[in-house]
Each structure stands twice: as structure tokens, then as C-alpha cells.
Amino acid sequence: MENENFASLPKKKLKKLIHETQDVLDQLKAELKTRKQDKQHDEIDHMEEHFEDAAHNLSNLKNFIQKAFSELRKDK
């Protein structure tokens, strides 16, 4: 609805439009909240996989550092 149409609307109709708009806004906010919660739940469901990946990466880093120190000792 265009801005100039609002001026010609009765006060009762404006209040009704505001109420309807607020209802839609509340529904959109609820949907956004639900999606955010669903994403968080999904991340929690996959947390064990994240920990396994982190442990694997940490193990690789540890092996690399050990090799690097071993090579440095050989060069002395």
C-alpha cells in the first residue's frame, strides 16, 4: 500500500492494519527464532564430529611439531 493511501484511510482501518502488520511481524520473528534454534540444535547434534575433527587436527599438529624438532636435532 502506498503512503498517500494511508491519509485517506479511517482511523479504525489504520489501527486494524497496524495490528495485522504487528501480527505478521511477530510471526516472522518467531520463524527466525525457530530457525536459529534449529541451527543450534543441529550444531549440537554434530558436536561429537567437530570434536573428532579437532582431535584429529591436533594430532596432526603434534606429529608435525615432533617431526620438526626431530629434524632440528638432526641438523645440530
What are the pLDDT digits (tens) for 15-40?
999 999 999 999 999 999 999 999 99
The domain spans of the chain are 1-45, 47-76
- Is residue 6 within 8 Å of 14, Cβ to Cβ? yes
- Distance (Å, whole) CA 33 – CA 29: 6
Q: What is the pLDDT of residue 73?
A: 87
Q: What is the pLDDT of residue 58?
A: 94
Q: What is the pLDDT of residue 1?
A: 54
Residue 18 CA: distances (Å) to CA of 8, 12, 40: 15, 10, 33
pLDDT at 8 over 80: yes
Query: What is the pTM assigned to this prediction?
Result: 0.55
Q: What percent of the chain has pLDDT over 90?
A: 66
